[in-house]
Amino acid sequence: MIAESPRVRMSVLGIVVFALFASLFARLYYLQVMASAQYQVAAEANRIRIVPVEAPRGRILDRNGKVLVDNRVSVQITIDRTIIDELKDDARVAVLASVADGLARSGTPKTVEQLEADLANLRYSPYVPVPVAGDVPEELKIWIDEHSVELPGVAAERVAVRRYPYGQLAAHVLGYTGQINDEEFAEKVDSPKPYTLNDEIGKYGVETVYEDDLRGTPGSRSIEVDAENNAIRVVDEAPPIPGDDVVLNLDIDVQAQAEQALQSGLAIARDRPSRGYDAPNKGEVGSTVVLDPKTGGVVAMASYPSFNPAEFVDGISDAEWDYLQAEENNAPLNNWAIQGQYAPGSTFKPFTAVSALEAGLITPDSKILDDGEYEVPGCTGDSCIFRNDQGKAYGVVDLRRSLTVSSDFFYYGLGARFWIEQDQLGGPERYADLLKQWGFDSDTGVDLSSEQSGVIPSPAWLKSYCDQIECLEDVWRTGKNVNMAIGQGEVLLTPLQIASGYATIGNGGTVWEPHVVKEIRDGVTQELVRTIEPKSVGIVEMTPEWRAAVTEGLLGVTTRDGGTAVGAFSGFPNDTYPIAAKTGTAQVSGKAPTAVFGAFGPANDPQYAISVLLEESGYGGSVAAPVARRLFDVLADPALLQPAPEDGRFDVLDTLAPDAGEVRD
Amino acid at 282: K
Say how far apart CA 311 and CA 334 lie, in whole Å: 16
- 537-575 confidence digits (pLDDT tens): 999 999 999 999 999 999 999 999 999 999 999 999 999
**Number of domains the chain contains:** 3
Q: What is the pLDDT of residue 318?
A: 82
Q: Which helix (H) or strand (E) holds 465?
A: helix 459-468
Between 8 and 194, the more confident residue is 194
User: Using one digit for the tens of pLDDT, what is the confidence trace for 464-520?
Assistant: 999 888 887 888 999 999 999 999 999 999 999 999 999 999 999 999 999 999 999
Q: Are residues 180 and 117 in the same domain?
A: yes
Do 279 and 139 share a structural domain? no
Task: Name which of 263, 267, 271, 337 is nearest 300 in CA terms.
Answer: 337
Q: Which of 248, 330, 258 is nearest to 287 (CA)?
A: 258
Q: Which residue has the higher pLDDT, 383 or 374?
A: 374
Assess if residue 178 is contained within a domain.
yes
Domain of 69 in residue numbering reads as 50-248
pLDDT category of residue 1 using cuts at 50, 70 and 90: very low
Residue 80 pLDDT > 70: yes
Confidence band, pLDDT 50/70/90 cuts, at residue 42: very low
* Segment among 51-65, 121-135, 371-385 with least mean pLDDT: 121-135
**Cβ pair 135, 108 in contact under 8 A:** yes
pLDDT computed for residue 35 by the predictor:
52
Domain assignment present for 523: yes
Check residue 313 and give its pLDDT: 87
Is residue 524, in this structure, part of any structural domain at all? yes
CA-nearest of 656, 663, 595, 598 to 627 is 656
Q: What is the CATH number of the domain that holds 124?
A: 3.90.1310.10
State the pLDDT confidence band at 22, using cuts at 50, 70 and 90.
Answer: low
Q: How many other C-beta atoms lie within 10 A of the C-beta of residue 316?
A: 18
Those residues with Cβ within 8 angstroms of residue 330's Cβ, 6 or more apart along the chain or in another chain: 284, 285, 305
Judgement on whether residues 29 and 83 belong to the same structural domain of the protein: no
Classify residue 656: in a domain, yes or no. Answer: no
Are 508 and 609 contacting, i.e. CB atoms less than 8 angstroms apart? no
Distance separating alpha carbons of residues 295 and 608, to the nearest angstrom: 10
Chosen domain end from 215, 231, 248: 248
Q: What is the pLDDT of residue 62?
A: 98
180: in domain: yes
Alpha carbons within 13 angstroms on the beta-carbon side of residue 581 total 37
Predicted confidence at residue 86, as pLDDT, reads 86
Q: How confident is the model at residue 323 (pLDDT cuts 50, 70, 90)?
A: very high
Are 41 and 169 in the same domain?
no
Q: Indicate if 97 and 116 belong to the same structural domain.
A: yes
If asked whether residues 123 and 33 sit together in one domain, one would say no
Give how far the C-alpha of residue 274 lies from the chain's centroid of Cα atoms, to the nearest Å: 32
Q: What is the pLDDT of residues 396-409, one digit of tens each?
A: 999 999 999 999 99
Both 461 and 497 in one domain: the answer is yes
Average pLDDT over residues 439-448: 97
Burial 586-605 (b: 16+ CB within 10 A, else e): beeeeebbbbbbbbbbbbee
**Shared domain check, 420 and 324:** yes
Same domain, 130 and 41: no
Mind giving me the DSSP string for 418-449? HHHTHHHHTSTTHHHHHHHTTTTTS----SST
In tens, the pLDDT along 90-112 reads 889 899 999 999 899 888 888 98
Instruction: Please check whether residue 665 lies inside any domain of the structure.
Output: no
Asked if 591 contacts 574 with a C-beta cutoff of 8 angstroms, the reply is no
CATH code at position 424: 3.40.710.10
Confirm whether 475 is domain-assigned.
yes
Lowest model confidence (mean pLDDT) among 34-43, 142-151, 565-574: 34-43
Dihedral angle of Cα 463, 469, 470, 472, to the nearest 10 degrees: -60
Least Cα distance to 131 among 122, 143, 119 occurs for 119
Residues 222 and 368 in one domain: no
Shared domain check, 221 and 77: yes
* Predicted structure pTM score: 0.87
Cα–Cα distance measured from residue 118 to residue 196, given in angstroms and rounded to the nearest whole number: 20
Kindly state the average pLDDT of the residues 569-586: 97
Asked if residue 76 has pLDDT above 50, the reply is yes
As a dihedral over the C-alpha atoms of residue 636, residue 642, residue 646, residue 648, rounded to 10 degrees, the angle is: -60
| 645 in a structural domain | no
Are 262 and 156 contained in the same domain? no
Amino acid occupying residue 32: Q
Dmax over CA atoms of the chain, in Å, equals: 141
